Amino acid sequence: MARRRGQDIDGWLVLDKPLELGSTTAVAIARRLYDARKVGHAGTLDPLATGVLPIAFGKATKTIPWIMDATKEYRFTLVFGESRTTDDREGEVLALSEVRPSDTAILGVLPMLTGDVMQVPPVYSALKVGGQRAYDLARAGKPPELPPRPARIDSITLVERPDRDHAVFDVRSGKGVYMRSLARDIALACGTVGHIGVLRRTKCGPFTEMEAISLDNLRQSMENADALPVPLRPVATVLDDIPALAVTEEEAKALLYGQSLDLSVLAGRLPAMEAGVPLRAICGERVIGLCRTEDGRLRPSRMF
């Protein structure tokens, strides 16, 4: 018997990933519930993290890079006094400290950790070292020394101090920033040690926790024959900040077939921008794909 391939459906699901569930497992569950042929996700969340996990179906998978590069927002609780192997509560205790920083001390170190910084990733991360995952090496008793990597941290806000052992932060950051590393570095800058106790992603690109659906509610809706299926967000949702270019049906057909267009035929419609910058090609109310200008022509780069 031939293997069932699933349905061709397109769009974004904004899932509120629950605690202790891996991102890959969450995607597999969503694929089964929607009986979807092609699925992917944008931005892995650790099993001990919760919150916004955008899941792409069908043509939306082509727009995943735009979500990966998008600004993200988090809220985490830093636990002072214990450093751990994983930089979160799952790991073994590495070091202890009796130092508990004041609010003033914490606020004093945040500026040095904000902006374009260099950040050392957690040893327990999916980064590859010599072809092996860092976390596999660490679990085998050979934790690698990971070099610092560029990171963009737009803002760090001290939200509250529930007690002297804990501090809650809101963070706005760019691609590839590790909150576990940031929590570790805040504690170290304050002259103590620490790890993340609670981590939640509240925003990922245009998707927020206010619109995210829990896995339990998704299951109930999709498995209930009398309920309406949870609708997906349009593929183009993640492209709203890319300049738009209106094209005709004939031009759209040419672009979809991989043909380029002479810029002279688009005079008066092209937004003012540098060559090579992505353009969102729109035919009527439909986004047909992304294009770029190059050598006097409009060239298709990723068509839907």
Q: Annotated catalytic sites, by residue?
A: 46
Q: Please answer whether residues 125 and 118 qualify as being in contact, where contact means their C-beta atoms are separated by less than 8 angstroms.
A: no
**CA pair distance 239, 38, nearest whole angstrom:** 20
Token pair, residue 104, equals: 């003033």
Q: What are phi and psi of 166, to 5 degrees?
A: -135, 150
Q: Amino acid identity, residue 124?
A: Y
- Between CA 86 and CA 280 the distance in angstroms is 41
